[in-house]
């Protein structure tokens, strides 16, 4: 009978371990998605800044090389 208790304990421990892995994978996936989202937002901000700089340069009334 003692052996049967060890088997059921081992099965419960194994089930907890696999549930923990699933939770860890979900957390890792969430972190990866957040990182990708952050990267996309960062790249969009950089693109908006570059476009704004281009428009500022194109519409500036003083030419860039005039020294004024």
pLDDT tens column, 7-33: 566 667 666 666 678 899 999 999 999
Percentage with pLDDT > 70 across the chain: 63
Domain spans of the chain, in order of start:
24-58
Per-residue confidence band for 56, with pLDDT thresholds at 50, 70 and 90: very high
Q: What is the mean pLDDT of the chain?
A: 82
Select from 51, 48, 52 the least CA-distant residue to 40.
48
- In whole angstroms, give the CA distance from residue 4 to residue 15: 17
Question: Per the structure block, which two tokens stand in for 68?
Answer: 């004024």
Per-residue confidence band for 60, with pLDDT thresholds at 50, 70 and 90: confident
**What's the confidence (pLDDT) of residue 19?**
67
Question: Per the structure block, which two tokens stand in for 43?
Answer: 């790249």
């Amino acid at each position: 009978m003692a052996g049967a208790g060890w088997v059921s304990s081992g099965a419960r421990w194994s089930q907890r371990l696999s549930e923990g892995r699933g939770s860890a994978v979900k957390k890792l996936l969430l972190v990866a998605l957040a990182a990708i989202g952050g990267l996309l937002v960062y790249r969009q901000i950089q693109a908006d800044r570059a476009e704004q700089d281009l428009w500022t340069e194109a519409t500036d009334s003083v030419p860039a090389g005039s020294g004024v």
